[in-house]
Every structure is written in structure tokens, then in C-alpha cells.
């Protein structure tokens, strides 16, 4: 913990953007924790929260957070900023152990696997069992407790969540918390060895009903007790029986359900912890839907009666540039974390809420980037410039300038997103000065970013991609104004 604090302290002297600081969190702080989290019992919630506090203080430069941490921790494609969620990280590193458990290597084999009542460990991990129902004892406060706790928590599905015919038929009979007898999960070894494993093994496809006891013992060649068989059948939840009855004539091919999918991922993938992390991190966190609602009302469209996919939309805007500084800015802008006079006045950091440039209206986001007279002029010039050169006809609208939403189909869309982003950023950078921003001024800034991106492209050997992206802009600024 001290080491993390120290290394973050060194970096906090540097003037980094939001995404720059998040990258430092990932590479410096989180990488130190990964070894510990994957090899030792899970630390207490208090500890993880304490670490998170240190990380967030660094991300927000020791001031209050501007974007909810539950939003920051979501993946980028869901409007988050990919800040590592320590609890989910811990969980996915622990679940990834199951692959090692199943491949049966290493000395821990004697410690834990011998207690698992089923030799077929893969079957065991597909069992759908709640942690409290596990039939073996696990050392308390050992890493094994965490592994099994997390696995059960994330793989267990209640009766309600298993409502697909194929999922039900392929459910394990043994050690299934949804099929208890006398309030306990059961495992009958001799039956299991006769390959009676899944609900479908109790079902007679010829009669479209469960086997009668006599047919059942005939088929599997076992000496069973009729009472056992009846109690097993009655342990199948009534809801499932109804679904089986309704769908047993449908001929649907089997598709693996949630738990099977997750286990297949763990078995087939070396870096399964990363994949598990991606699968679940959004469920544990929040989406910035409230931001979209605000933007929608600002640009006079309702968030509901448009087929615009906001998440994809802001994601595309984010990817239109390689500059970390611009990416940070556009993310903050989309999240409406913008120091307008209205906001600064509200928190007591400005003695007026009025716009510095026109001195007549309150400066909120819409005013700062669209409503102010100086802005209307700038947008007009920029759009005329683009329209003239590319022989197109974009209208200067509130939704185009503020949110990059165009009415017509445009071939150069990433390019416009980029130009508009640079305009917004330049306006923001100059918000405290009386400097008049001109089209030429914007072109100079665009050239600066082109140079930055060209250097990145050369370093990554992606010069052709760079050229393709900027081709339209080269045309733009090589022509006379
Ligand atoms: Zn103004």
C-alpha cells in the first residue's frame, strides 16, 4: 500500500490528463496488486476500499470526484473509463484458478481436490451449486474459500433464471442447489457412474415423459429403490417440469447456457481472468444514462424517440483521435464534467455566472459551446469552410455542433468528429481569455494534432491508416481559404 502511494505521488507531480492518470493507475498500482490478489486470500473489503480511495484521489488530483466511480469503472463501450474495479479484479483472478484446479497439477491437488466428491471435476464445476450447499469443508480464510465462493456466486443460477428448455434438460442432477432432497443437494455415486448425470437422462424421448421406474432401471441396468427415484423426480422444480412439457416436442439444437459458457471460456483460454473481468465488470457498475438524458434535452431531442445508440456514439467520438489528451477531454465533455461559469459560481469559485465573452447570458455548457454569439459565428465559418471544400451541405445545428449528430449521411464522419472535437477543445482552452478564435486558428491546432498522431502512427507502423484518416483534412487545408 505504501509502495502504491509512493509511486502515485511521484506521478502526481506531472501534469497528466484524466486518461493519462487512469493509465498510471492500471500500469503502476494495479499491476502491483495482481500478484497478491491471484495468490493470496482476498483482502478485506475495507482494504480494497482504502486502496480505491488512494487511487481515486490520484485520478481526481486530491479533489472531489467529478464522475461517479461506478461509471468510471465500467468498460468504455458502456460509457465508462475502464478504471480497474478491484473487487471484480480479485474475483476474476480467483475464478481463473478453476482452470488450474481442473488440470490437476501442483501440490494443492491433495489439499482440496481430494475432497471434491465427484472425480469428474469438470462435471463438478458445472453443477450449479450455491456456496452454502457445498458438500465438502474448505479451510476458512484460505484462497480456496474465495475461489469456491466466487465461483458459486457467479455460476449459480436460481430456478427463475433457468427458463430455457435446453438449459433445463442439460442441468446437472447432482449437487444442484435447485434440486434438493430433504433440503440437501445429493450425489449418488452408483447412479452417476451409470451415466445418469443430467435431467435429460431421466427423460424418455419415445414417450415424451419421464421414465417410469421400471423402464428406468431397465435402461440403466441399476438396482434402484423406487422411493429414491420418486424423490429424485420430485426434486425437479415444478416450473421446469412445465417448461419441459411445453417444449419437449420442439426440436431445438442445444446451445450452452450462461454457466457452461463461462466454464468453457475458463477452460479454453489462458488469460481467462481478463475475459471474466470483461464479462462481469459492467454488471457490477453503472452506466452514465443520466448524462445522456441531459444531453438529449440540451439538443432538443428526447433520449427515447431516437434510435441513436448513445454508448456507441460517444465511443466513436472517443476513438476518432489517438491523442490521450483529446480522449480525456471528449470523455469529460460527454460526461458533462466542464467548468462552466454557472458551475464555478455555484461552488463559489466565480463571482458571476455570466459568460465572460458576451457578459449577457448565464454560461452553461450549451451557451459555452453553442449559444454565445461568438460561437455561432465560429461554427458558421468552420462549417462553411468544410462544406465548400468537400462540396457537401452540413447544416449548422445544435445537435451537429454539440453532439456530432448529423442529419445527412457523411462519408468523412470520423473527420468531422475530429474537427468538431478540436473546435470544442480550443474553445474550452480559451474560455478565460478574450482571444477571438478563427478558422485559421482551428486549422493550426488541427495541424498540431496531425503531427502528434503522425508520430504515433510511425512508431506503431500504421502510416497507411494515418494517411487514410487524414486524407480529407489534407485536402481541406491545402486549399485556399
Ligand atoms: Zn456568451
- What pLDDT, on the 0 to 100 scale, is given for residue 249? 85
Q: Mean pLDDT throughout 25-36? A: 87
Give 399-455 as a DSSP string.
HHHHH---SS--TTHHHHHHHHHHHHHHHHHTTTS-PPP-HHHHHHHHHHHHHHHHH
Residue 141 CA: distances (Å) to CA of 45, 148, 234, 296 = 14, 12, 37, 49
Q: In angstroms, what is the span from residue 357 Cα to ligand 1's centroid? A: 5
What 3-state DSSP class applies to 262? helix
Between 41 and 1, the more confident residue is 41
Whole-structure pTM value: 0.83
pLDDT band at 117 (very low <50, low <70, confident <90, very high): confident
Buried b (16+ CB within 10 A) or exposed e, 11-26: eeeeebbbbebbebbe
189-239 residue pLDDT tens: 999 999 999 999 999 989 999 999 999 999 999 988 999 999 999 999 999
Residue pair 94/143 in contact (Cβ under 8 Å)? The answer is: yes
Q: In angstroms, what is the span from residue 284 Cα to ligand 1's centroid? A: 41
Q: In angstroms, what is the span from residue 139 Cα to ligand 1's centroid? A: 66
304 pLDDT above the threshold of 60: no
Specify the DSSP class assigned to residue 133.
G
Q: In angstroms, what is the span from residue 84 Cα to ligand 1's centroid? A: 39
Q: In angstroms, what is the span from residue 354 Cα to ligand 1's centroid? A: 8
Q: In angstroms, what is the span from residue 441 Cα to ligand 1's centroid? A: 20
Highest mean pLDDT among 158-162, 272-276, 378-382: 378-382
pLDDT band at 268 (very low <50, low <70, confident <90, very high): confident
Helix 86-95 vs helix 31-39: angle between axes, to the nearest 10 degrees?
50
- What pLDDT, on the 0 to 100 scale, is given for residue 480? 46
Residue pair 185/177 in contact (Cβ under 8 Å)? The answer is: yes
Q: In angstroms, what is the span from residue 269 Cα to ligand 1's centroid? A: 56
- What pLDDT, on the 0 to 100 scale, is given for residue 320? 87
Query: Sign of torsion, CA 111 114 117 120?
Result: positive
- What pLDDT, on the 0 to 100 scale, is given for residue 106? 58
Q: In angstroms, what is the span from residue 291 Cα to ligand 1's centroid? A: 23
Q: In angstroms, what is the span from residue 447 Cα to ligand 1's centroid? A: 28
Determine the Cα–Cα distance for residues 123 and 135; give it in Å rounded to an integer.
15
Long-range contacts of 100-108 (CB under 8 A, 24+ apart): 101/125, 101/147, 102/267, 108/144
What 3-state DSSP class applies to 341? helix
- What pLDDT, on the 0 to 100 scale, is given for residue 303? 55
- What pLDDT, on the 0 to 100 scale, is given for residue 465? 85
Domain ranges of the chain: 165-256, 295-478
Q: In angstroms, what is the span from residue 362 Cα to ligand 1's centroid? A: 7
Q: In angstroms, what is the span from residue 365 Cα to ligand 1's centroid? A: 11
410 pLDDT above the threshold of 80: no
Q: In angstroms, what is the span from residue 360 Cα to ligand 1's centroid? A: 7
Q: In angstroms, what is the span from residue 435 Cα to ligand 1's centroid? A: 13
Q: In angstroms, what is the span from residue 336 Cα to ligand 1's centroid? A: 18
| Residue 77 grid coordinates | 463501450
Q: Mean pLDDT throughout 376-383? A: 93
- What pLDDT, on the 0 to 100 scale, is given for residue 390? 77
- Taking residue 334's Cβ as centre, other Cβ atoms within 10 Å add up to 22
Q: In angstroms, what is the span from residue 369 Cα to ligand 1's centroid? A: 9
Q: In angstroms, what is the span from residue 356 Cα to ligand 1's centroid? A: 6
Instruction: Identify the burial level of 434 via C-beta atoms within 10 angstroms of its C-beta, where 0-12 means exposed, 13-18 middle and 19 or more buried.
Output: exposed
- What pLDDT, on the 0 to 100 scale, is given for residue 270? 78
Residue pair 53/77 in contact (Cβ under 8 Å)? The answer is: no
Q: In angstroms, what is the span from residue 318 Cα to ligand 1's centroid? A: 27
- Find how far residue 271's CA is from the centre of its chain: 17
Amino acid at each position: 500500500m505504501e509502495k502504491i502511494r509512493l509511486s502515485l505521488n511521484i506521478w502526481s507531480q506531472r501534469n497528466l490528463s484524466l486518461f493519462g492518470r487512469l493509465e498510471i493507475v492500471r500500469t503502476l498500482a494495479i499491476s502491483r496488486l495482481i500478484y497478491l490478489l491471484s495468490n493470496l486470500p482476498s483482502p478485506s473489503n475495507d482494504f480494497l476500499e482504502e486502496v480505491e480511495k488512494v487511487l481515486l484521489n490520484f485520478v481526481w488530483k486530491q479533489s472531489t470526484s467529478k464522475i461517479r466511480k461506478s461509471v468510471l469503472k465500467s468498460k468504455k463501450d458502456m460509457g465508462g473509463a475502464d478504471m480497474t474495479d478491484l473487487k471484480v479484479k480479485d474475483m476474476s483472478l480467483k475464478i481463473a484458478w478453476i482452470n488450474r484446479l481442473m488440470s490437476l497439477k501442483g501440490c494443492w491437488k491433495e489439499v482440496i481436490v481430494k475432497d471434491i466428491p465427484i472425480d469428474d471435476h469438470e462435471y463438478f464445476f458445472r453443477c450449479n451449486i450455491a456456496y452454502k450447499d457445498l458438500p465438502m469443508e474448505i479451510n476458512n480464510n484460505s484462497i480456496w474459500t474465495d475461489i469456491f465462493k466466487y465461483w458459486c456466486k457467479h455460476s449459480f443460477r436460481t430456478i427463475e433464471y433457468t427458463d430455457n428448455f435446453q438449459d433445463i434438460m442439460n442441468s446437472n442432477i447432482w449437487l444442484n442447489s435447485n434440486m434438493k432432497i430433504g433440503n440437501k443437494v445429493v450425489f449418488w455415486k452408483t447412479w452417476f457412474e451409470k451415466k445418469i448425470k443430467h435431467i435429460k437422462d431421466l427423460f424418455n424421448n419415445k414417450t415424451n415423459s419421464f421414465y417410469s421406474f421400471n423402464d428406468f432401471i431397465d435402461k440403466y441396468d441399476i438396482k434402484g429403490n423406487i422411493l429414491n427415484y420418486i424423490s429424485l423426480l420430485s426434486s425437479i422444480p415444478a416450473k421446469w417440469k412445465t417448461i419441459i412439457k411445453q417444449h419437449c416436442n420442439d426440436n431445438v439444437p442445444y446451445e450452452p447456457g450462461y454457466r457452461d459458457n463461462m466454464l468453457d471460456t475458463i477452460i479454453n483460454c489462458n488469460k481467462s481472468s481478463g475475459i471474466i473481468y470483461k464479462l462481469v465488470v459492467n454488471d457490477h457498475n453503472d452506466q452514465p444514462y443520466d448524462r445522456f438524458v441531459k444531453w438529449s434535452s440540451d439538443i432538443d431531442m428526447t433520449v427515447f424517440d431516437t434510435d441513436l445508440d448513445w454508448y456507441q456514439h460517444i465511443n466513436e467520438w472517443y476513438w476518432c483521435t489517438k491523442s490521450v489528451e483529446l480522449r480525456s477531454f471528449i470523455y469529460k465533455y460527454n460526461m458533462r464534467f466542464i467548468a462552466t461559469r454557472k458551475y464555478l459560481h455555484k461552488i463559489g469559485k466565480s463571482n458571476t455566472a455570466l459568460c465572460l465573452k458576451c457578459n449577457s447570458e448565464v454560461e452553461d455548457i450549451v451557451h459555452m459551446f453553442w449559444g454565445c454569439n461568438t460561437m455561432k459565428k465560429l461554427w458558421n465559418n468552420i462549417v462553411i469552410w468544410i462544406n465548400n471544400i468537400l462540396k457537401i451541405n452540413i447544416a449548422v445545428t445544435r445537435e451537429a455542433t454539440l453532439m456530432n449528430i448529423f442529419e445527412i449521411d457523411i462519408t468523412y464522419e470520423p473527420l468531422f468528429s475530429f474537427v468538431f472535437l478540436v473546435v470544442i477543445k480550443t474553445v474550452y482552452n480559451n474560455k478565460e481569455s478574450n482571444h477571438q478564435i478563427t478558422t485559421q486558428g482551428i486549422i493550426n491546432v488541427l495541424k498540431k494534432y496531425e503531427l502528434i498522431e503522425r508520430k504515433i502512427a510511425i512508431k506503431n507502423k500504421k502510416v497507411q491508416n494515418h494517411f487514410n484518416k487524414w486524407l480529407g483534412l489534407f485536402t481541406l487545408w491545402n486549399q485556399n481559404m
